[in-house]
Amino acid sequence: NCPGIEATTAQVLGDAQEAWLLTNLDRSKARWKALAQQVMMMDLNRNTSGGQGVNTDSWAGYRVPRNRLLSHIRDRRIDNVVVLTGDEHQNYAGGLWLDGSQPEGAPIAVEFVGTSISSRGDGSDRGADYDRFMAVNPQLKFRNSQRGYVVCEATPTVWTTQFKVLDKVSDRSGVLTTRQTFAIEAGSNTLTPA
């Protein structure tokens, strides 16, 4: 943690881009609002040995603009917002709250983070810190570091995301499987294993 995380002048998008996003979220008549972007929005605690530590190279490192976006979605009652993210080299699925360490009520939105296709080698299903990491991050419903991709399907009533993973990418004999599937019913913002 550092004082810059709370800086009121910090920006992720820039003024014009943020205004564009908020305006178009307000105007959207789409059932599902997919925000495809590069850095994780969940404010995960990366310190599993006590204390608090966030990835400052993510929305968690910019608390004011992050909370401004999430508050806008919450206060305007913009339903069915799904954030799709890459650039973490791991799979994650979880809910978005202003403070993920104290998730109260329904999530404001949900986020799916897709792993890399081959970077960092084969990966593993659950790392040594899996249980500690999940325990300090109640907003998180899934974490996996195998290589692969996500497949999303949106219908008028449900959004489904499948996490496709390979047991190994180090040679051509790797086997592709569906590691986890989540569904979100329209209007609920709640992840349900499917």
Residue 179 lies in a domain: no
Residue 126 lies in a domain: yes
Residue 34 lies in a domain: yes
Of 119 and 12, the structure prediction assigns the larger pLDDT to 12
Domain of 44, CATH number, reads 3.60.21.10
Tokens 């919450």 -> residue: 74
Q: What is the pLDDT of residue 16?
A: 97
Rounded to the nearest integer, the mean pLDDT of the chain is: 94
Degrees to nearest 5, angle at CA 77 with 74 and 79: 100
Residue 194 lies in a domain: no
Predicted confidence (pLDDT) per residue in 46-92, tens digit: 998 888 899 999 999 999 999 999 999 999 999 999 999 997 899 99
Distance CA(61)–CA(59), nearest Å, equals 5
**pTM score of the predicted model:** 0.95
Nearest CA-CA partner of 94 in 180, 178, 5: 180
Total residues belonging to the chain: 194
| Domain count within the chain | 1
Residue 186 lies in a domain: no
Nearest CA-CA partner of 79 in 190, 192, 191, 189: 189
Strand order across the 158-166 sheet: 148-154, 158-166, 176-185, 192-193
Residue 17 lies in a domain: yes
Residue 67 lies in a domain: yes
Residue numbers of the domain that contains 75: 3-147
Distance CA(98)–CA(100), nearest Å, equals 6
DSSP 8-state symbol, 177: E
Of 117 and 154, the structure prediction assigns the larger pLDDT to 154
Residue 73 lies in a domain: yes
